[in-house]
Amino acid sequence: MAGEGQTSSEYIKHHLQNLTFGKFPEGHERAGEWGLAHNSMEAKDMGFWAIHLDTMFWSIILGVLFLYLFRKVAKNATSDVPGGGQNFVEWIVEFVDGTVKGAFSGRNAMVAPMALTIFIWVFLINFMDLIPVDWLPQLATLIGVHVFGMDPHHVYFRVVPSTDPNATFGMALPVFALMIFYSFKIKGPIGFASELTLHPFSSENKLVQLLFIPINFLLEFVALLAKPLSLSLRLYGNMFAGEMIFILIALMYSGGLVLGIFGGVLQMGWAIFHILIITLQAYIFMTLTIVYMDLAHQTGDEH
């Protein structure tokens, strides 16, 4: 619900602002010092090295939660009648393994574990969007005010890391780096360069082929750079839109009893539909990662 004294616009902006820690720039009253940004302008002025503490916190916590739960199930796995936890984990592992076998034609023992990690981690990150938008931010405000003596209007706390483009790019760039690494390793520098310069246009006439090289390189290089962009922006765009809808629905609770009841119905309906969205986005991110790794392992004849 909108905080006391906040307009709808201020409420939305507050929910879309990350808890940002960075170095205050020149011209600021605290220039040269490190601290928390009090508004979006200060966060922007902190520049590249600023850290979104809330995004880092939830990303790490959920990653550790995934490792802990799956490790616990693996340690307690039995060949006898399995429990519900083991059944669920085995089903997830078999599902991911089947997806990898269907989309990856190379031989690399790292791809399946990476796909499993991406699917579960992204799903857990997305799942945070189903928690009512005010619960955790209000808890963070109480802690910030009563423990750290902060101004309640300066306590920002976003709980869905995938609504932060820094997080989605942070996940997409290592996938892109692995794709480049294995492209060089499997195809060699010459093979990778040929892939970028000899396709899609080719000719038996060497002079014509020479003229095609810059055109091919431009097209293939743009397509190459589009892979991490599409991987990150697709996840970010869908999750940001979902979060925005939840925030707009939450505003309805401050509009009276009738509007509040209607908002509750909308929230329930959107939450049920959003379960499909968060699962689908995790699956798409995983599948595209597998496909990109498969492309990196394909030789010139297979490509």
| Cβ-Cβ contacts under 8 Å for 102 (sequence gap 6 or more) | none
Extract the tokens encoding 127: 């799942």
**Catalytic: 105?**
no
Residue 108 CA, distance from chain mean position: 24
CB atoms within 10 A of CB 192: 18
Specify the length of the chain in residues.
Answer: 303
Active-site residue, 76 included: no
Strand order, beta sheet including 51-52: 34-36, 20-23, 51-52
Q: How far apart are CA 42 and CA 17, in angstroms?
A: 11
Element (H, E) at 73: helix 53-75
How does strand 20-23 pair with strand 51-52? antiparallel
**Residue from 108, 194, 234, 254 carrying the catalytic annotation:** 234
Q: How many degrees, rounded to 5, is the angle at CA 48 between CA 47 and CA 54?
A: 95
Q: Is 30 labeled as catalytic in the residue annotation?
A: no
Cβ-contact 32, 16 below 8 angstroms:
no
Quick one: 233 exposed, middle or buried, by C-beta within 10 A (0-12, 13-18, 19+)?
Answer: middle
Q: Dmax of the chain from CA atoms?
A: 76
Q: Is 5 left (phi over 0), alpha (psi -120 to 50) or beta?
A: left
Are the CB atoms for 179 and 190 separated by under 8 Å? no
Which amino acid is present at 71? R
**Residue positions annotated with a catalytic role:** 230, 234, 238
